[in-house]
Structure 1
């Protein structure tokens, strides 16, 4: 055999695999695509049976949303989800690093205790949060939502990031310290770049939790800090359900999550799997 054949052989995907992938994509994307096409229809077309597949699209539903109170609710969701995710990462990533390097007794007990705080159902904290916020004046504020989401995302950040830090060899840190680098420089310039996929995956999960939250936003807000999921529900009223606005609002609510996920897609898969492997 010639030496030119020694390289790796790339096999193209079989037709059956391509068909399976195509069917899976259609099944997974069909609800989103159906919602998206509904957002470009009038209510009369949406209620028409059988539903027309060919129609003249309209932007009236989106225009009605942004001319009303939905625009402010969308901004409130974006601010509360972004700030709470950033704050949880700023506080949780160093805490996870410190916990991963802790060699004393009680490390696993503390890790489990942090995780247990995330297991409690949100309804268990509703009345304490409501009464405390009313006392300090944080009801119906974006700041109040940021604090709530951060308190629930912080244990998730610590629990997810700890395995990633444990995969970083301590010999690298020790070598940098011997060369004169400070602990801050070692953490920022050596350790953090190595766990970037884990940070990206954790950030997506934290953002998803805050962005999709409905329960706390419904209880702790009224008008000033109302979020997008709560605003979409308001289109379901006694006079009738405004299906066009509901579809347009649902499409807009999904858009930031899709954009954020696509922006960090090359880190997402490796981030969700790398932390599970040590050594």
Structure 2
């Protein structure tokens, strides 16, 4: 039997995959179908297996303050991810090519800064932002997310740069290429999977953040996760809007992940192997 025939998908394996996917996706599918129901249908017991879907929840969301909060989340997550990659990727490359003493100590120190719990920085950030006038601003959120994502970028990208042979860079330098050209034209294309995987993780952290967005914003820079909580009030929980808001919050991450799916799996695994 050939190697390919041994790896052929059998009916039992296919059933197991489908069942596993249904179990993993059932919470998201349940949330999605609930977003197309009215509050009366959501609270009905037993839940109706067949119902007439409605876009009322999504329409009411986009005619409320949630639309501005959604844009705030997109801006803060995208800008902080871009800044973290802009500064973190060259720093990881420099750390990877550093041949002097103290390299491992510096790498560990960078990792330790990412291990600190966010709550430890809440009061300093709040007092400092109030002093310089960055409370309730997109700029303030971007700086916070960038400061937490930067160590993650350096820590994740360094192993990818370690796998790039230095002989390629030396050959390009001998041929007259500048250091910037070597980095942008030779090294970066070889670590594209790592950049894609790192970008997704940075975007996820910024997009899903609730703690800093709750403490450091009020109305102008409120993000989507905080806006969804506002539908839980003393008059009653608006389950339809909560479900619709949760579905919309998941959408950008899903689209971003699908867009770079070619690099995601290889990016998450390649950097773990050196040599």
User: What TM-score, normalized to structure 1?
Assistant: 0.97
Residue 194 of structure 1 is matched in structure 2 by 190
Q: What whole-Å deviation, never above 9, does each CA across 1:7-62 have from its counterpart, x for those lacking one?
A: 86445301111011001100111000000000000000000011112100000000
| Distance (whole Å) between structure 2 residues aligned to residue 207 and residue 52 of structure 1 | 37
Deviations 1:110-167 (Å, cap 9, x if unpaired)?
Answer: 0000000000000000000000000000000000000000000000000000000000
1:263 maps to which residue? Answer: 259
Q: How does 1:96-111 map to 2 (within 5 A)?
A: 96-111=92-107
What are the within-5 Å matches in structure 2 for residues 90-169 of structure 1?
90-169=86-165
CA distance in 1, matches of 2:95, 2:273: 18
Q: Distance in 2 between matches of 1:255 and 1:51?
A: 25
Match of 1:246 in 2: 242
The CA deviation string for residues 66-115 of structure 1, in whole angstroms up to 9 with x for no partner, is 00000000000000000000000000000000000001000000000000
Please tell me whether residue 56 in structure 1 is matched to residue 65 in structure 2.
Answer: no
| Matches of 1:276 and 1:134, distance apart in 2 | 41
CA–CA separation in structure 2 for the residues paired with 1:243 and 1:177:
61
Q: What corresponds to 2:269 in structure 1?
A: 273
Corresponding position of 2:24: 28
Q: TM-score, normalised by structure 2?
A: 0.98
2:15 paired residue number? 19
Q: CA RMSD in A?
A: 1.0
In structure 2, distance between residues paired with 1:8 and 1:276: 26
Which residue of 1 is the match for residue 71 of structure 2?
75
Q: Which moved more, 1:189-198 or 1:11-20?
A: 11-20
Asked whether 1:38 is paired with 2:34, we answer yes
> Which residue in 2 is equivalent to 1:235?
231
Unaligned stretches of 5+ residues in structure 2: none
